[in-house]
Amino acid sequence: MSSRKHRIKLLRASASEFWVALNNGIEELIASEDPKLKSYSAYGTLYTAVYNYITTRRLGGSDVPGAVELDPNARGANLASAEIYCTIINKLNIHLEGLLQGAAELQGEALLGYYSIQWARYTTLAKSLGNVNSFLTRHWIKGTMAKRDNIYTVPILALTRWKSVFVDGLQRADKKLTNALLGLVASHHAGGSINLEHLKSILASLATLGRSGKHGETETLDVYEEVFETPFLLDAEEYYQKSATLAQEQSEEYQSTMKQLLASVDQLAVVFPCDKTQEGLLQILRDTAQKTTQEVEEAERLGGEL
């Protein structure tokens, strides 16, 4: 059936038929390898299904998980909107559980490559879902946000699901994502060739996942700090101290080692989504140099007293 005929059929359909159409459309969009709305007709078909379901839904209860709990007093169009909102949540959760299962056997750079590819696809999906549900946003989401907390626009809702299902799932057992990121940095310190673009895209994603405010309207660095920055700076402190101590034992290499560490900070700076990570690294390096100098001076003083 052509997209034009399909849209005409939708215009004549019942609420139950609209419901089937929007469910199938959302599932197809989520399952697509390239979830862009490549044509106006693709956008129009799904937008029409959402619009028509909201405007034709009348009496009756709901068997959509979470819809009644989300808006207990909703009827008609408001109940239809709650159903669509919860359907998006439920289908994204299923999709993300599948992605998590796909990452089960991946470690290190393989995991980071998988994350980077899936994240790029998912952000496109979130934008597409937001576009086709723009009437849902105008009709129900914005009004509901004024009355209660923890209701999100569709793109932000998608981000909250990625964090809660996928990122938290990776971190749950053994901080798998953190360890993969730190392992990549360790390879860089050891002189290995690493994919800085994967690292940059993942850190940028983590920086967008932290949300504050009643409706996630403000970005924070909480997730980035928890998953990467805090453990990274702790590792860096240990690495810099070991490197400086080893160089101190071979005094002719000390200045060269400190220059190499400083150059490493500059190389990594391009992947950080905020300046404070680089500033933290530089402070650790300064503290390490000061501590090492004090240790050398103390050793010389004690040696002179013997």
Residue 39 neighbours by CB under 8 Å, 6+ apart = 3
* The two three-digit tokens of residue 301, written as one number: 């003083």
Helix-helix angle 275-305:254-269, to 10 degrees: 170
- Between the alpha carbon of residue 215 and those of residues 60, 153, 241, 243, the distances in Å are 29, 8, 43, 45
**How many other C-beta atoms lie within 10 A of the C-beta of residue 138?**
10
Backbone angles phi, psi at 218, to 5 degrees: -115, 130
- Cα separation, 244 vs 288, whole angstroms: 7
Q: Phi-psi bin for 252: left (phi > 0), alpha (psi -120 to 50), beta?
A: alpha
Tokens 């004549």 locate to: 12
Task: Determine the pLDDT at residue 1.
Answer: 46
Task: Determine the pLDDT at residue 300.
Answer: 54
pLDDT digits (tens, 9 = 90+) for 136-194: 999 999 999 998 888 999 999 999 999 999 999 999 979 999 999 999 999 888 888 88
Helices (H) and strands (E) in the chain, counts: 16, 2
Task: Determine the pLDDT at residue 167.
Answer: 98
Task: Determine the pLDDT at residue 8.
Answer: 46
Give domain limits for the chain: 3-172
Task: Determine the pLDDT at residue 189.
Answer: 83
Residues of the chain with pLDDT under 50: 1-2, 6-8, 10-11
* The two three-digit tokens of residue 303, written as one number: 């040696």
CATH 3.30.43.10 assigned to domain 3-172? The reply is no
